[in-house]
A and B are shown apart, each in its own frame.
Chain A
Amino acid sequence: MNVTMRILLRSLMVSAWFVLLTFPVLCVKVAARQHTVTVLWERAVGMFAVMIGCSLLWMWYFHRKEHGAESGSSAVSSALAGFSEKWHGLTSNRVFSSSGMGVLLAVGVLLPLVGSMYQTTIFANAFLYVMLALGLNIAVGIAGQLVLGYAAFYAIGAYAYGLLNQYFGLGFWVCLPLGGLLAALAGLLLGFPVLRLQGDYLAIVTLGFGEIVRLLLNNLRDITGGSQGVASIPRPAFFMELSAEQSMNYMYYLTFAAMLVTIVVVARLKNSRVGLALQALRDDEIASEAMGIDLRTVKLQAFALGSCWAGFAGVLLAARINFISPASFTFMDSAMVLSMVVLGGMGSISGVVVAALVLTLAPEYLRAFSEYRMLLFGALMVLMMIFRPQGLIPSRKRAYSPAGAASGSAEGGRA
């Protein structure tokens, strides 16, 4: 029996296994009260068909990885590698990257003038996610500290504006820096005790922290309004009172500007002295300590720098949607931002921006797909880790070329 037949046979068996496995939960529905049982056979058939395709691809990939294809790269991954190579070539080209930025800027500025209110809203939302993903990228991608409770910092920013406005009447522009500051302080607060922890323990502690923040917001009803949340948070005025649509557009521009600031600052940060220290921390904690990097300071910097962006984003969110409740800051939201960072490529700024835009906009434009959004996010995280752990547009390590040639690489990949 040749290899193809064997793979085919195996994939048939794997598909049968998956049909059997998923049969009770996927294909049987019971109504306990009425004692009715419905069996959805079409789902079993669909599962079988999908699994044949998937298992063939899966086995073909691992087969190629083991035999043949000496470098172990399949056509898809080599195409991707070529793409990211080209991408880096383009982004290190000054003319291209500045003209590309120009086009993006123009599109961003013109959108509210040509698009509908709905489009303005979903783009403003996407920009917020870009900010969040870039902020988390500082901690996870650049510094290698897996933070799972990132939504907590988002919540702190949002509640900072909501509550300070409700109790003390503070305005948006006062609360914007305060929200960022409070989130950064919370990051430090979390950072101090976890200095000794690494890897998965750190991840779990941050997750616990995120849940504690959410539960406190939920339970301290007298202060935060509990699960009812905080309502009627005002939008900022622009010299004069704005109509509903004008203030929507104003919030859109504010979010857009904030996103641009985030991109520029994080890109500059990555290649700064602090950013290099963060990357050294990610690559090898012990070696970087031996090189004279103060781990304590650098880790705290990673937490504070990462969380402050979530604080800013939280204030912007509260101002735009006027209502916040603990239900918007669950673990699922943290996982969603994390999947953006993972998909884009940990540490890669252009990758994370693209991934955040795609993952927030695609479900809006492909309505059929929006129901399956979180399902796909989950699958994507697993598949990315298996097939392309470096992300779609991987971050490039800053290379040192003594000849001083190739100005692009000497300056460090601006990825």
Chain B
Amino acid sequence: MEFDFQYFLGIFFSGLTRGSIYALIALGYTMVYGIIGLINFAHGEIYMLGAFTALIVAGILGGIGLPWWGILVIAALVAMVWCSAYGYTVEKVAYKPLRGASRLAPLISAIGMSTFLQNYVQLAQTSNSVPFPRLIPRRFSFLQDMGNFMAPGDFIMLVTSLLIMVALALFIRYTKMGKAMRATAQNRKMAMLLGIDADRIISLTFIIGSALAALGGTLIAARTGQVGFAIGFLAGMKAFTAAVLGGIGSIPGAMLGGLVLGLAEGFTAGYFSSDYEDVLAFALLVLILIFRPAGLLGRAAIQKV
């Protein structure tokens, strides 16, 4: 069998696109873990809520006659705002009262929250998967001029998520709030002594993370044309794998981890069998945690007695 470059390129870009969405969701996990050391199990459900909110907004706007990109942008923005509110509320209800409790308590609370949100959407909306309106046109003429190496949906996903990630990196690097976030992640007590309101920073982290997850949810829903109440679990687990792969707590790590995981899955599905892409993700998760818990870009934690 000779090497089919066109096929390879197709797989490469679809893997990259998938990876960019994993990276978007993974950022939420990694930022929260960096600041309060909690695996926010409910993060995948926030992503799912984002997809549902976008679906509802797109449904409402569908009849007015806006251009497709107008609907997509408004749906994404509303989903991001609402999901930030969900993220903020979840933190206040389920995690904040548990500061200072044993390490397992917030994790169990997070699992409970995830179960709760999933069933809340199932009961409030539907247990079937719902079609998401086809917003993205099938063809972009400029992409066709460039040899049609990507589908329009993939192109929008990749470009948006890359832009957002750059923006986030700049925000964390250069703004005062970003600096405060980094300080809190390094040493919360010390940051508080220097006048940083740690509670506000924690809320901010949840808000930003949830908005990114909601954006990911909207983009995926618009791309695949399907939304269901159960999509959060798998996406959440994969994004978490990406965060761990890159080194949990590290923001560039989450981006890198997402892209690597997306490419690995894409190539497994493309050259081996799509049955095993999920197995691959979970196996990667288990293997990294066992053999290199610090991930690609993380630093090993040293436990002092």
Residues of A participating in the B interface, judged by any CB pair closer than 8 Å: 17-18, 20-22, 24-26, 28-33, 35, 37, 43, 62, 144, 146, 148, 193-194, 196-197, 199-201, 203-205, 207-209, 211-212, 215-216, 219, 286, 331-332, 335, 338-339, 342, 371-372, 374-375, 377-382, 385-386, 389
Contacts and interface: CB of A to CB of B under 8 A. Distances in A.
B237 A211 contact: yes
B53 A382 contact: no
B60 interface: yes
Contact of A204 (B120, B124, B125, B285): B285
Interface of B: 38-39, 49, 52-53, 55-60, 62-63, 78, 82, 85-86, 89, 93-94, 97-98, 101-109, 111-121, 123-125, 130-133, 233, 237, 240, 244, 275-276, 278-279, 282-283, 285-286, 289-290, 293, 305
B111 A148 contact: yes
Given A21-B89, A30-B56, A378-B115, A338 B290 contact: no
B228 to A, nearest CB: 13
B289 A205 contact: yes
Given A205-B289, A379-B116, A24 B56 contact: yes
Contact of B103 (A24, A200, A375): A200
A28 B56 contact: yes
Nearest to B90: A382
A197 B237 CA distance: 19
20 contacts: A21-B86, A24-B82, A25-B53, A30-B56, A32-B133, A43-B124, A193-B290, A194-B290, A196-B290, A199-B103, A200-B38, A203-B39, A208-B282, A212-B286, A372-B119, A378-B114, A378-B117, A381-B115, A382-B112, A385-B108
Contact of B108 (A20, A286, A338): A338
Can you list the 10 inter-chain pairs with the closest CB atoms, starting with the nearest?
A: A381-B112, A30-B59, A378-B116, A378-B115, A375-B119, A382-B112, A385-B109, A208-B286, A208-B282, A219-B275
A209 B284 CA distance: 11
Nearest to A219: B275
Given A32-B130, A211-B237, A382-B116, A204 B98 contact: no
Contact of A385 (B56, B82, B112, B276): B112
Nearest to B248: A201
A386 B97 contact: yes
A379 B285 CA distance: 28
B286 A29 contact: no
A286 B133 CA distance: 56
Contacts of B113: 378, 382
A374 B282 contact: no
Contacts of A18: 89
Nearest to A40: B124
Nearest to A30: B59
Contacts of A335: 111, 115
Given A24-B82, A32-B55, A335-B115, A385 B49 contact: no
A84 B296 CA distance: 49
Dominant secondary structure at the A interface = helix
B293 A201 contact: yes
A386 B53 contact: no
B112 A379 contact: yes
A163 B111 CA distance: 32
B97 A219 contact: no
Contact of A25 (B63, B98, B124): B124
Given A24-B53, A209-B286, A29 B108 contact: no
B60 A25 contact: no
Nearest to B234: A211
Contacts of B115: 332, 335, 339, 374-375, 377-378, 381
Contact of A37 (B49, B60, B244, B275): B60
Given A200-B39, A211-B237, A378-B113, A32 B132 contact: yes
A380 B111 CA distance: 11
A374 B127 CA distance: 13
B31 to A, nearest CB: 16
B124 A208 contact: no
A51 to B, nearest CB: 11
Contact of A35 (B63, B109, B275): B63
B171 to A, nearest CB: 25
A377 to B, nearest CB: 6
B131 A25 contact: no
Contacts of A331: 233
Given A24-B56, A146-B107, A200-B39, 17 more contacts: A25-B49, A25-B52, A25-B56, A30-B56, A32-B133, A62-B97, A193-B290, A197-B293, A199-B104, A204-B240, A208-B282, A219-B275, A332-B115, A378-B119, A379-B116, A381-B109, A386-B94
A208 B112 contact: no
A389 B305 contact: no
A374 B279 contact: no
A146 B63 CA distance: 50
A199 B38 CA distance: 11
B103 A216 contact: no
A371 B283 CA distance: 34
